[in-house]
Chain A
C-alpha cells in the first residue's frame, strides 16, 4: 500500500541506503584516515556526499521530520569536512615543512627578526656595561636560583669550575639537565610568541629580560678574565638557542603588529593570518630548542676544549643561517 505513504517517507526510503553507506565509510575514514578505505570506496565518498547534500536540500523543502533534517545536516557536515579537509599524509607534510614551509615562514619574518635581534643585542650590551660599572647591578638582572652561586661574590676558581665541570650530583645527571633546559626554554619561547598578541609589549619585555641575563653573565665572567671561556661555554648551544628565542620574539611581534596595524583587513583577519604564519615558524623553533637542549646538556659537558666549543657554535650558526636564508626556488 505504498500510495498511503507520505512523499517524504518514500523520499527517505529510496535514499536511506546511500546515506547509511556514506556514514559507514566516513566512520572508517575518521578512525583510520583515508588509508582505512579501499580505492573504490574513496572514490565513492564524494559522490555519496553530493547525493547527501542534494537530499538535504530536498528534505529541507519537503520534509517536516526534524530528526531527518538534523541527521542529514550532521552527515553532510562530517562529509564536507572530510571531502574538503586537509588530507596530506604525514611523510609528505613533514617533508613539505622542512623543505618549504619552515624556512619560508622564517624568511617572511625577516623584519621582525631584525627588530627582535636588535632589541636583544642592545639589552645585552646595556646589561654588560651596567654590570661592568657596578657589579651590584648583577642581582637585578639575575635571580639567585638561576645564578646558583655564580655571582660577583663568588671566587674565580669556583666560576672556572662551573664552566668545565659536570653539574654536581644534586643537580641531576646530564640527560635530566638537558631535558629540563629544553622544556624550560620551549615554554619561554611559547610565551613570547603568545604574548605578542598584546601589541608586542610583553614580548619585547621578555626579550630584553632574557638578553639582560646574558649580558650580566658575560660581564661577570669578563671581570674575572674568563670572558673568552665563558662565551664559548654559553655559545656552544647559545647560537641555536638565542636564534630560536629571537625567532619566537619575531613571531610574537608579527602578531602584535597585525593586532595594532591591521591595514586594509579587519583586525580579526589580520591577526589570524599573522598567527598562522608565525605558528609555522614557532613549530620549528620548538625543534631548534630541542637541538639546543641536546647541545647544552651533552655537548657542553662532554666537550671541554674552548676552541671546539667555538667551532661548534659557529658551525651551528652558519648552518641555521644558510638553511633559513639561502636564496632558493620553492618546491611546490
Chain B
C-alpha cells in the first residue's frame, strides 16, 4: 500500500512551495564583488512620479503657449504667427516624445518626477544604461499611455462604440502589464531591458552611539541589562531616536526601564536614557558580532 503510494507520483503529496514574500530587493553585484542591493520601485512611487512629470509637461506647454500668443499679438505679422504656429506644433511633439528621454540619458537617469520620488532607471542586467535603451523604453510609452488615453476619450455610436470599447480593453492590457511581473516592468522596460529602482539620496546622519554628543556618558548598564534585546530591537530603537515623536520616546523609555529593571538615577531625560542604552546595546551586539554571533532579536537566545 505504501509502496504503490510512493511509486505513483500522483498519490504523493508534495509539500507546497512557499515563496517568501517578495519585498523587491534585487541583487546587483559590482565588478568589485559587492552586492549593492537595489529595491524595485513601488507602483505608488512610479505613478506619482508620472503624474508629476505630466504636470510639469502640461504646465510648461501652457506657459509656452501663452508666451507665443503674447509674441504673436505683439508683432501682428502674418508670417511671424505662421512660424510661431509651426514652432508650437513641433515643440509639443518634441516635449511629448523627448521629455523623458532627455532626462533619462543624463547621469542621474531620472526625470524630475522620478528624482523627487527617489527613483532611477537602471539596466535590468546591472550593466550600463544605453541611450538606445532609454529611447526604446520611452517610445513604448506611446502605446502604454497615449493609446489607452485616445480610446478613453474617443466617442462613437453603435459598431464604432463597440470597437472603441474593445480597443480600450485591449490597450488596457498594456497599462496593467506591470502588475504581472516581479520587477514591475512595463512594456517599455521589457523592450529596453530596463527597470525602475528606488535609489533615494541618503544623507549621513549623526552617529547615535556618540555618547559625548548625546550627553549620555556615565550611564552604565550591566551585561544582563544589555542582553535583553537583539538587533531587530536595536533598529527599532534607532528609528525611534531619529524620529521626532516625543510620545514614542517616552513610551519606549518606560518599556525598556521596566524590562531591564532599571535602578539607576530616575531623574534623567528619556532621550538621554535611550541614547545611553542604544550606545550600550549596540556596543554589546557589535562586539558579539565580531565573534561571529549575530543576535537576530530578543527571542534569539541560542
Q: Which residues of A contact B (CB under 8 A)?
A: 4-9, 12, 16, 19-20, 23, 29-30, 33, 50, 53-54, 56-57, 61-68, 70-71, 73-78, 80-82, 84-86, 93, 101, 172-176, 178-180, 182-183, 186-187, 190-191, 193-195, 197, 255, 268-269, 271-280, 282-283, 286
Q: Counting CB contacts under 8 A, is B204 at the interface?
A: yes
16 CB < 8 A contacts A-B: A6-B282, A8-B282, A20-B204, A64-B289, A71-B204, A76-B30, A85-B107, A85-B129, A86-B128, A172-B82, A271-B190, A272-B191, A273-B193, A279-B136, A279-B192, A280-B135
Q: Interface residue tally of chain B, by bracket?
A: 35 or more
Query: Chain A residue with minimal CB distance to B206?
Result: A67
Q: Are A67 and B205 in contact (CB under 8 A)?
A: yes
Q: Are B142 and A272 in contact (CB under 8 A)?
A: no
Chain B, residues 191-209, CB within 8 Å of chain A (1/0): the string is: 1110000011111110111
Q: Are A175 and B128 in contact (CB under 8 A)?
A: no
From B28, B93, B201, A182 is in contact (CB under 8 Å) with B93
Inside 8 A of B28's CB, which chain A residues have their CB? 77, 80
From A53, A71, A182, A279, B135 is in contact (CB under 8 Å) with A279
| Residues of B76-105 whose CB lies within 8 A of A | 79, 82-83, 85-87, 89-90, 92-93, 97
Chain B, residues 137-148, CB within 8 Å of chain A (1/0): the string is: 001101100010
Q: Are B129 and A86 in contact (CB under 8 A)?
A: yes
Query: Chain B residue with minimal CB distance to A4?
Result: B211
Inside 8 A of B133's CB, which chain A residues have their CB? 276, 279
A6-B286, A183-B92, A183-B93 in contact; A74/B130 too (CB < 8 A)? no
Inside 8 A of B122's CB, which chain A residues have their CB? 81
A64-B282, A66-B235 in contact; A12/B83 too (CB < 8 A)? no
Inside 8 A of A186's CB, which chain B residues have their CB? 93, 97
From A19, A78, A183, B201 is in contact (CB under 8 Å) with A78
Q: Is the interface of A mostly helix, strand, loop or mixed?
A: helix
Q: Are A176 and B193 in contact (CB under 8 A)?
A: no
The CA of A286 and the CA of B287, in the complex, are separated in Å by 62
- A106 to chain B: closest CB distance in Å? 14
Inside 8 A of B139's CB, which chain A residues have their CB? 190, 193-194, 279, 282
Number of A-B contacts (CB under 8 A): 198
Q: Counting CB contacts under 8 A, is B293 at the interface?
A: no
The CA of A187 and the CA of B191, in the complex, are separated in Å by 18
- A174 to chain B: closest CB distance in Å? 8
The CA of A20 and the CA of B203, in the complex, are separated in Å by 10
Question: Top 8 A-B pairs ranked by shortest CB distance?
Answer: A272-B193, A275-B191, A279-B136, A175-B86, A183-B93, A74-B202, A173-B82, A179-B86
Q: Are A68 and B92 in contact (CB under 8 A)?
A: no
A64-B234, A64-B289, A66-B235 in contact; A9/B210 too (CB < 8 A)? yes
Query: Chain A residue with minimal CB distance to B78?
Result: A173
The CA of A276 and the CA of B36, in the complex, are separated in Å by 26
The CA of A3 and the CA of B270, in the complex, are separated in Å by 26
Query: Chain B residue with minimal CB distance to A84?
Result: B128
The CA of A172 and the CA of B84, in the complex, are separated in Å by 12
From B106, B140, B209, A8 is in contact (CB under 8 Å) with B209
| Residues of B2-36 whose CB lies within 8 A of A | 28, 30-32, 34, 36
Q: Counting CB contacts under 8 A, is B61 at the interface?
A: no
Query: Chain B residue with minimal CB distance to A276?
Result: B132
Inside 8 A of A271's CB, which chain B residues have their CB? 190-191
From A65, A85, A176, A197, B238 is in contact (CB under 8 Å) with A65
Q: Are B202 and A71 in contact (CB under 8 A)?
A: yes
Query: Chain A residue with minimal CB distance to B187?
Result: A197
Inside 8 A of A76's CB, which chain B residues have their CB? 30, 34, 36
Q: Are A255 and B191 in contact (CB under 8 A)?
A: yes
Q: Are B200 and A74 in contact (CB under 8 A)?
A: yes
Q: Counting CB contacts under 8 A, is B109 at the interface?
A: yes
